[in-house]
A and B are shown apart, each in its own frame.
Chain A
Amino acid sequence: MYRFGKKEELIDGIKKGIPIGVGYLAVSFTFGIWATEGGIPLWMAVLISFSNLTSAGQFAGVGLIMQTASLFEIGLSVFVINIRYSLMSLSLTQKLEKNVKTSQKYIFGFGITDEVFAIAAVRERPITAYYMYGLMSTPIIGWTLGTFLGGLVGNVLPPRLSDAMGIALYAMFIAIIVPPAKKNRAVLFTIIIAVIVSCILKYVPVFSFITDGFSMIIATFIGAGIMAYLAPVAETEGKEETS
């Protein structure tokens, strides 16, 4: 068992985080424009992005602020949208290197976004503190900086381009899940089941009361649950049984 130095871990994390940071720059640029146009001061929009570091929850929360909704309503809505993170956070506990300190985990909690989680969760080696710091850093910078630039310069991008950029993060998600799905049939089926459930919850009118955050949780439980039952992974360190 060879070990990796702090520096190597940090650099590895930063490298993996750069695409996320670039994607965030584009999305938060839109957030910056939208928030400032809706009456949020620029510094506040930047503070929101830095302190929340999330997309759906933040858009919903700021939308409610613009309508001067009650603080309770804001807190509850944002919390419900963000419950999904607890599943990701729990999943990461099993991948942490043994000597990660509790104080460091408090910092990790800040940076567990969908994308950061995805990259960290599919890492082959255990997650060290410096890897996680590296991984979180560019997304934090990208998200905050993008908000600032968007709020500052406003609608300078042609609408066609900003429309097109909306697909960037989803394209990245596809880039993360497709290669492992090629090699591991159980992963492929997990994805297919999750997509089917997610689409049903979205398009079948009976389920229209389910919010997107919950829909993701339900689809995840069903997809990962069925495959965990049908194709349990081998005992050796979460490695899949490759057929």
Chain B
Amino acid sequence: MNIDLKYMCLAVFIMALVTYIPRAVPIVFFKKEIKSRFIKSFLYYVPYAVLASLTFPAIFTTGGNLYAAIAGTAVALILAYFEKSLVVVAVFSVAAVFVTNLFL
């Protein structure tokens, strides 16, 4: 397959731009300290809500099949509950998916 190079360069430039703008504009231009207790609280909870909604239900579509994904999720939840490090949680979760897939 041959894709025109100029087209591709332009497309990639646009992609980079529309990725950079939403990331940079708020942090560069918003300088006030938010005083509202509600908004402060809202922003405090944002990271947890963001990560939770990014993870679920998307995590169940990883790993090739649902049972493997459930096994990996369960392992991740248990190890995270015992406050294991990010790498440990990730490695054992991957291992759980891999092993489950061997038996399916």
Contact = CB atoms under 8 A, between A and B. Distances in A.
Interface of A: 18-20, 22-23, 38-40, 44, 47-48, 51-54, 57-58, 61, 64-66, 68, 71, 74-75, 78-79, 82-94, 96, 102, 105-106, 108-110, 112, 114, 117-118, 121-122, 159-161, 163-182, 186-187, 190-195, 197-199, 202-203, 212, 215-216, 219-220, 223-225, 227-229, 231-233, 235, 238, 240
B3 A68 contact: yes
Given A90-B43, A174-B89, A61 B48 contact: no
Which of A22, A58, A170 has the largest number of chain B CB atoms within 10 A?
Answer: A170
A90 B39 CA distance: 11
Contacts of A54: 19
Interface residues of B, number: 81
Majority-rule SS of A interface residues: helix
A109 B42 contact: no
Interface of B: 1-4, 7-28, 30-31, 33-34, 37-59, 62-64, 68-69, 72-73, 75-77, 79-81, 83-87, 89-91, 93-95, 97-98, 101-102
A168 B90 contact: yes
Given A48-B12, A90-B43, A163-B64, A175 B89 contact: yes
B15 to A, nearest CB: 4
A191 B47 contact: no
Nearest to A65: B11
B47 A122 contact: yes
B27 A112 contact: yes
Given A86-B25, A186-B45, A233-B41, 9 more contacts: A86-B26, A91-B43, A105-B27, A114-B54, A170-B58, A171-B59, A181-B48, A224-B44, A233-B37
Contacts of B26: 86, 89-90, 93
Q: List 3 A-B pairs, minimum CB-CB distance, nearest first.
A: A109-B24, A39-B1, A171-B93
A23 B23 contact: no
Contacts of A195: 52-53, 55-57
